[in-house]
């Protein structure tokens, strides 16, 4: 519960109270089981610190209900990747073992990522180039 209990305070999907943002503090690991590295929700917490141009839709208001059944309206900024291809597989250019381990788990290609190392290497790359983890979709 501790890692999720304040997530409702955030105005974005991966804000400072989200489990994705908290994971490095717990020395967490991210297991990508048979899904590759192109998509990785935990990367959105890093993107939210930089706010690259593709990241957000305009703010909207939601009605949320908390675990005490209290409902309230909240301003929220959702993510928007329309026109952009996510390329989180580029972490392979930034991380080496043991920060990124790849191999077979129950016969399928999987990846284990150290969350602290992911943040340590990905955040400077994104600050240097806000489009590092995306490609523009050509139409």
- What is the per-residue pLDDT across 56-75, written as a single tens digit (0 to 9) for each? 999 999 898 888 999 999 99
| The predicted structure's pLDDT at residue 64 | 83
Minimal CA–CA distance to 134: which of 58, 83, 78, 94? 83
3-class DSSP state of 130: coil
Residues of the chain with pLDDT under 50: none
Neighbours of 69 (CB within 10 A): 6
pLDDT of residue 66: 80
Name the 3-class secondary structure at 47.
helix
Helical segments of 5-63, H only = 19-22, 43-50
pLDDT at 2: 85
Q: Which of 56, 43, 61 is nearest to 82 (CA)?
A: 56
Per-position b or e across 3-23, b if 16+ CB within 10 A of its CB: beeebeebebbbbebbbbbbb
The pLDDT assigned to 1 comes to 67
**Helix and strand totals (H; E) in the chain:** 3, 7
């Amino acid at each position: 519960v501790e890692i999720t209990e304040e997530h409702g305070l955030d105005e974005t999907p991966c804000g400072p109270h989200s489990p994705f943002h908290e994971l490095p503090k717990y020395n967490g690991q991210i297991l990508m089981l048979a899904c590759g590295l192109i998509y990785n929700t935990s990367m959105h917490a890093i993107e939210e610190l930089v706010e690259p141009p593709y990241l957000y839709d305009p703010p909207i208001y939601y009605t949320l209900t908390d675990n005490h059944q209290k409902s309230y309206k909240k301003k929220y900024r959702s993510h928007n990747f329309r026109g952009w291809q996510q390329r989180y597989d580029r972490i392979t250019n930034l991380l080496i073992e043991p920060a990124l381990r790849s191999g077979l788990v129950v016969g399928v290609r999987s990846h284990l990522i150290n969350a602290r190392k992911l943040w340590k290497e990905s955040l400077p790359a994104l600050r240097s180039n806000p489009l590092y983890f995306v490609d523009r979709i050509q139409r």
